Amino acid sequence: MSIKLYCMGESGNAYKAALALELSGLEWEPVFVDFFGGETRREEFREINVMGEVPVMVDGDVTLTQSGVMQMYITEKTGKFGGATPEEAREVMRWVFWDNHKLSSQVGMTRFLVNFLPEEKRPAEVIGFMQDRLKAAYTALDVHLTDRDWIVGNGITNADMSCCAYLFYPEPFGFDRKGWPNIDRWLSHIAAQPGWKHPYDLMPGNPSDRA
């Protein structure tokens, strides 16, 4: 039975799980969540995920939320992407936790405010504050990637698939990969992985659907 991932193309958090599923070779299918139509705020969705968040993964009688947990699960099932040694496994988790707190959460919110809120509701001061804070996160990642192809070890791991997720999106949110040469090189390595797909090609849902 195929794994179901409740997701939408705009969700970088869902992309972390979708990309890991796709590159793992596991059989999976996306289930579109009408996030922008308010689906995650409805009672029925809260019954699946009390946190009211996308993504949600369902594999038979296993239901998981939080992209980092889904990535761990894919690692448990396939042995892939979790690091080659216990030390590497801890380092992978270190970067996944960092990403969830300092990179993706802040990029996700900034991108939402800049692109998906109605223009008259976009709070310029908050956006400026977030973009300034994010420079520290881009710097940490760019410095770490100096002389490295991957965040941990010698191949793609959950750390890469977590940290990269929002950085592939075309909507402007104050990040220009050309200004961060090590991040830019690393994103190109990820995109060169056999089977790699852009978030909008991997999951249903695209801002153009609402244009």
Ligand X SMILES: N[C@@H](CCC(=O)N[C@@H](CS)C(=O)NCC(=O)O)C(=O)O
| Interface residues toward ligand X, by CB under 6 A | 11, 13, 40, 52-55, 66-68, 100, 108
Q: How far is the CB of 10 from ligand X (least distance, A)?
A: 7
User: In the complex with ligand X, which residue's Cβ is closer, 34 or 132?
Assistant: 34
Nearer to ligand X, 68 or 83 (CB): 68
Q: CB nearer to ligand X: give 10 or 142.
A: 10
Q: Taking the complex as a whole, how short is the minimal distance between the CB of residue 108 and ligand X, in angstroms?
A: 5
Q: Mind giving me the DSSP string for 47-107?
A: HH-TT--S-EEEETTEEEESHHHHHHHHHHHH--SS-SSHHHHHHHHHHHHHIIIIIHHHH
CB of 85 to ligand X, least distance (A): 25
Instruction: Output 53 or 59, the one with its CB closest to ligand X.
Output: 53
Sheet holding 3-7, edge to edge: 28-32, 3-7, 56-59, 62-65
Whether residue 123 is preceded by a cis peptide bond, meaning omega within 30 degrees of 0, is no
CB of 40 to ligand X, least distance (A): 5
* CA-based end-to-end distance of the chain: 35
- Residue 28 main-chain phi, psi, to 5 deg: -150, 165
CA angle 132, 134, 138 (to 5 degrees): 125
Residue 158 CB, nearest approach to ligand X (Å)? 11
Residue closer to ligand X (CB basis): 40 or 106: 40
